[in-house]
Structure 1
Amino acid sequence: MRKVKTAKSKVLEEGYIKIYSVLSPKEKRQIFFNREYKKLNPSWDNTHIVLCSLFDRAVSDLSHPLKVLDAGCGNGNYVIDEYRDKISRAFGVDINPEFTGKNICLDEIKYGNLEKIPYENGIFDVVISMWVIEHLERPEKVFLEVSRVLKKGGYLILATPNKDYFLLRLKEVLKNQKLNFFVNKFLYDRGESDVFTTFYKANEIKVLKELLYKTSFSDIELKLNYDPGYTSFNKPSFFLSNFFDRLLNGLKPEFIKAHIVGMARKKS
């Protein structure tokens, strides 16, 4: 277990999608094109902003003070950064201390497998899971654990890759290590140490919804969300990506939208 002495989120750069940590050049590129896309499409929101909206809705329906768990916390959580002043206590669970060294937004981090979350029954108002579900070999067991540690009426808020997104489909079809390295390094800006085994066992909306219902969740809201940052390297590729998003949105949206985002409520 690690106690974080200075659990405080600090904004380094204001703007649409605030910056809370030092970014790599590729992360800056992704943020830039997300901001540009927002200017052109005011009704759209980046996945982190969507998650914040969901969190806002959830906490308006809950009593205070709030206790929040980040399941698979890694080095940080945008939603907790944004709402740190409204969260009385923020906790995290991850598999290994080496993955959480830069995390300063939580009060406490425990280490272990999400199939056995090291917290008592019914103590959290909200559990947040960002970019974790794709790594779960037994997602049903993890959702049962999340349900266990949530209070009745508490919320799970989540974001995960969409299995049908064309880049993931391409990786699956080719099963090529070099292509995997390209996608992880040049699109997602992840080195070998940041890439964990993926199973994608709950990364389709229909499958994910069924698993959530099965593990004592209701009021399930899931949707696909577009992210222009993955395929925008310059202005021509930015506009080309957006063209294909508009073209496919009414035909096969799951092919062009990279993320599944949503929330579910533990049955009372």
Structure 2
Amino acid sequence: MGSLTSKLNKRFYGKKSHPYKIYLEEIVNRLPNGAKVLDAGCGHDAPVISDIAAACDIAVGADITYLNPCNANPSVKFIINDLSAIGLCDACLDMVISRSVMEHIKTPEDIFNEINRILKPGGYFIFLTPNLYDYASIFSKLIPNRFHPLIVKMTEGRNEDDTFPAYYKANTRRDIQDLASGTGFEIKEIEFLGQYPAYLMFNPFVFLIGTAYDRMVCRFNCLAFLRGWILGVLQKL
């Protein structure tokens, strides 16, 4: 990331809340007292569930890949398992959260059914996922998955081993509505969120183009469906 691009990012987005922060605030605002929470696809260091663990009676991180609990909150319990068969008992959780995971799920109805099973009636499923109609997602969907690790390394500097296949089967309003109605959820909120053009940080000129685009889709509500992220809040019926 060049110093000029960093300065531009600070100038245009320094005071704007990142979708990660908005997502975390949504979780905290809906946490009940004595909450039992699962982070589905928590990631190696489980950053989100670690942040809220102190406010939970039980905090669990689940992922199919290796975990690194030494960097996470010691009060977080960990499960290494497929998210379609997490292994917890029925109706045992108040909330399931998930960040940047739904785009990697090949059969999202299986995940939604499993999450519904382990939630108590009235429990929340809160997730943040890329919007299929964002330009980055469109390019990602058009480019074969075998090329994604190299592209992500070049544009973001992320380790190639930390890049996973993307399917984008739960990444539009219609997809989420269909999945929710078919798996026993009521939609409480679907919000489209903008973000600084993270994939364009490698060049100041293209970063400015991405910034202009983001400002346009964030200014006009009729273009909200083009914003980069979808925040979904579902409640078990």
Question: What RMSD in Å do the two structures reach over aligned CA positions?
Answer: 3.0
Superposition TM-score, scaled by structure 2 size: 0.83
For 1:87, the equivalent position in structure 2 comes to 56
Deviations 1:11-68 (A, max 9, x none): xxxxxxxxxxxxxx79x999987654444xx5x5211111122113212xx3x21111
Alignment of 1:70 onto 2:48: no
Retained in 1: the 8 A contact 2:59–2:77? yes
The count of corresponding residues between Structure 1 and Structure 2 is 233
Cα 1:33/1:84, change in 2 over 3 Å:
farther
SS at structure 2 position matched to 1:70: strand
Match of 1:127 in 2: 96
Tell me the SS of whatever aligns to 2:61.
strand
Paired-residue identity, %: 27
**Alignment partners' CA distance in 1, 2:4 and 2:51:** 21
Separation of aligned partners in 2, 1:211 and 1:221: 14
SS in 2 for 1:56: helix
| Equivalent in the alignment of 2:157 | 189
Q: Which sections of structure 2, spanning at least 5 residues, go unmatched?
A: none
Counterpart CA distance in 2 for 1:240 and 1:253 is 18
Q: Tell me, what secondary structure is at the counterpart of 1:201?
A: coil
Deviation at 1:75? 2.0
Secondary structure of 2:186's match?
A: strand
Cα separation, partners in 2 of 1:29 and 1:130, compared to 1, 3 Å? farther
Say yes or no: does 1:140 pair with 2:112.
Answer: no
Q: Given the alignment of the two structures, is residue 107 of structure 1 paired with residue 79 of structure 2, yes or no?
A: no
Alpha-carbon separation, structure 1, partners of 2:89 and 2:82? 15
The offset of 1:252, in angstroms, is 4.2
Change beyond 3 A, Cα 1:112–1:83: closer
Counterpart CA distance in 2 for 1:31 and 1:120 is: 47
Aligned partner of residue 211 in structure 2, secondary structure: helix
The alpha-carbon distance between structure 1 residues 240 and 189, as it changes in their structure 2 partners (threshold 3 A), is same
Alignment-derived partner of residue 181 in structure 2: 213
Q: TM-score under structure 1 normalisation?
A: 0.75
Partner of 2:192: 224
Whether the 8 Å CA contact 1:135–1:196 is kept in 2: the answer is: yes
Residue 156 of structure 1: CA displacement?
0.9
* Contact 1:68–1:89 (CA under 8 A) maintained in structure 2: yes
**Shift of residue 79 of structure 1?**
3.6
Structure-2 separation of matches of 1:52 and 1:116: 25
Asked if 1:261 corresponds to 2:228, the answer is no
Read off the aligned partner of 2:155 and give its amino acid letter. Answer: L
Name stretches of at least 5 consecutive residues in structure 1 with no aligned partner: 1-24
